[in-house]
Amino acid sequence: MTAAKTVTANFVASTSYALTVRKAGTGTGTVTSIPTGINCGTACTASYASSTSVRLTATPVTGSRFSSWSGGCTGTSTTCTTTMTAAKTVTANFVKP
């Protein structure tokens, strides 16, 4: 560098939102996430940056089966994906066959 330079950096605060996972129903199981943060037995919460796509996976224990998602995810597949645009609550429903 042959002369003094001025550098300006502008930083924008990153927004994050809480994702809360609950379990319901007569059965039991666990819920995990990608990216990591959720690894639930009963209920848990993790924060993710705005616009993050979070994939949840429900795994029933022996003697139970996964039935559906409700709240911030819907459907009957054992996986669901939600994009964090606000705080969300997702319920994983497990039943006994």
User: 64: how many CB neighbours lie within 10 A of its CB?
Assistant: 17
Q: Nearest to residue 23, comparing CAs of 46, 41, 47, 48?
A: 41
Mean per-residue pLDDT, 79-96 = 98
Q: How much of the chain is helix, strand and coil, in % rounded to 5?
A: 0, 55, 45
Domains of the chain: 16-95 (2.60.40.1140)
Per-residue pLDDT at 42? 66
Q: Which helix (H) or strand (E) holds 84?
A: none
Which helix (DSSP H) or strand (DSSP E) does residue 22 occupy? strand 16-24
Q: Encoding tokens for residue 84?
A: 């964090």
Predicted confidence band of residue 6 (pLDDT cuts 50, 70, 90): confident
pLDDT tens-digit map of 12-71: 667 999 999 999 999 999 999 999 999 997 669 999 999 999 999 999 999 999 999 999
pTM beyond cutoff 0.75: yes
- pLDDT of residue 96 exceeding 90, the answer is yes
